[in-house]
Amino acid sequence: MLTYDVAVVGVGTAGKRIIEKISHKISNGIFLSIDDTESKICGDKVKEIKLNVNFERTSKRIKLEAYKTSRSIAEEIVNVKNVVIVVGLGGVFGSSAAPIIAKSLRECGKKILGVAIMPFKFEKSRLFRAAVGLRKMKMACDGLIVIGNGEFLEKAPQTPLFKAYELENEWIGNLISKLFDRENVYGINSKETYRLASDGNIIVGVGVGEGTGMAEEAATEASSALRRQSNSDVKDALVYIVGWKEISVGDVSTIVTTFRGITCCEGEVKVGYYPNNDRSLTVYALASVTETKFDGWDPLQKILKERELDFDVYSDMSVDYDFSGIKCLD
Ligand SMILES: Nc1nc2c(ncn2[C@@H]2O[C@H](COP(=O)(O)OP(=O)(O)OP(=O)(O)O)[C@@H](O)[C@H]2O)c(=O)[nH]1
Ligand SMILES: [Mg+2]
């Protein structure tokens, strides 16, 4: 039987688009997309699972269908230990389905790394649902990486939205493929990523540099993106440097020093290096922080502390649950 390093599951519309990118970048993986829209993915590397919820597209229905599907996925990826679940939070589909799928696969013994993409600040109606979804993903996954959509438009607010998504999906695809890149001797291994991501609040900053000074430029941009997402100093970090193959030891040192300076990080900064033929450098920084700006999008959390208002099927569903009698608040 074939064995794979990782299974990557994209949930909802954003998840589906990103999984398409990732499928071209990771050589030894299984790729699944779970959504309720018709098939649109190019190529045959991604298996698309269409949840049948169109006749009753409620959060409750999506959760039930997602749970049932997660059982068959578990059977399909029986030989895979690591699972990455990618979801754009804030819509109904992904925010409802992704935490259920994560929890259910985790109960089957999989190690779950969640990648949650948060909406743009202007998507006002989606922020609360995204923050609630984020909290559930934190509970459901072994580790979670949070990516703020807004960070990618900071440099080019004139960019058409679909192009911004396209560019961002490319970046997210590159980052995730680096997390599981086992070819590269200078890489950061996936265990280190899981360890950092299990800390609770992990955010991502991306920066690109070109020409002379590219190292400092890319590091400054990535660090500033982290600063915008959190007021707290960075505790520990993983820094993925991708690009120019002539990069020097001095450049790597500049990246780490700049990163430490801007993010006030006194903890561990591990660096992975992934050379290619680009004449530019891209720095992806994964950073552990005490709190993020996304936490504030769910003001109820502050009042309720550890208590849950949303008693959905997710709260008490166990693997062998009998669906026939489920009652829940939507
Ligand atoms: N990076 C990125 N973000 C996206 C993309 N499409 C949507 N998003 C973001 O992800 C969030 C969730 O959107 P969708 O993925 O469309 O939502 P959904 O889970 O399919 O839910 P529904 O709206 O019910 O279909 C949005 O608020 C957007 O900010 C994409 O292609 N790339
Ligand atoms: Mg959708």
CATH 3.30.1330.20 matches 204-288: yes
Nearest to 140 by CA among 189, 99, 177: 99
Quickly state the pLDDT bin for 313 (edges 50, 70, 90).
low
Across residues 251-272, what is the average pLDDT?
96
Ligand 1 pocket check for 96: Cβ under 6 Å: no
pLDDT single digits (tens) 2-26: 678 899 999 999 999 999 999 998 8
Residue 328 has pLDDT above 50, yes or no: no
Return the higher-pLDDT residue of 324 and 300.
300
Cα-based torsion angle of the residue sequence 133, 202, 70, 181 in order, rounded to the nearest 10 degrees: 150
Across residues 34-41, what is the average pLDDT?
84
By alpha-carbon position, which residue is closest to atom 24 of ligand 1?
Answer: 92
Residue 323 has pLDDT above 70, yes or no: no
**Residue 108 φ then ψ, to 5°:** -85, 10
What contacts 193, CB < 8 A, 6 or more positions away? 113, 143, 179, 238, 286
What contacts 198, CB < 8 A, 6 or more positions away? 142, 143
**Would you list the domain boundaries of the chain?**
6-197, 204-288
Fold of 6-197: Rossmann fold (3.40.50)
Angle between helices 92-107 and 59-76 (to 10 degrees): 40
Pocket of ligand 1, candidates 117, 121, 129, 167: which has the most ligand atoms within 8 Å of its Cβ, to mutate? 117
Closest atom of ligand 1 to CA, residue 15: 15
Closest atom of ligand 1 to CA, residue 126: 27
pTM listed for this prediction = 0.90
Closest atom of ligand 1 to CA, residue 162: 31
C-alpha to C-alpha distance for 147 and 175, rounded to whole angstroms: 11
Average pLDDT, the chain: 87
Question: What separation in Å is there between the alpha carbon of 326 and the centre of ligand 1?
Answer: 28
Residue 99 has pLDDT above 60, yes or no: yes
Ligand 1 pocket check for 240: Cβ under 6 Å: no
CA distances from 88 to 165, 216, 293, 323 (A): 11, 31, 17, 27
Q: What pLDDT sits at residue 165? A: 87
- Which residues are within 5 Å of ligand 2 (an ion), measured at CB? 13, 93
Residue 104 has pLDDT above 50, yes or no: yes
Q: What pLDDT sits at residue 186? A: 87
Quickly state the pLDDT bin for 200 (edges 50, 70, 90).
confident
Instruction: Please tell me whether residue 260 adopts helix, strand or coil conformation.
Output: helix
What contacts 227, CB < 8 A, 6 or more positions away? 262, 263
Ligand 1 pocket check for 16: Cβ under 6 Å: no
Question: What separation in Å is there between the alpha carbon of 315 and the centre of ligand 2?
Answer: 23
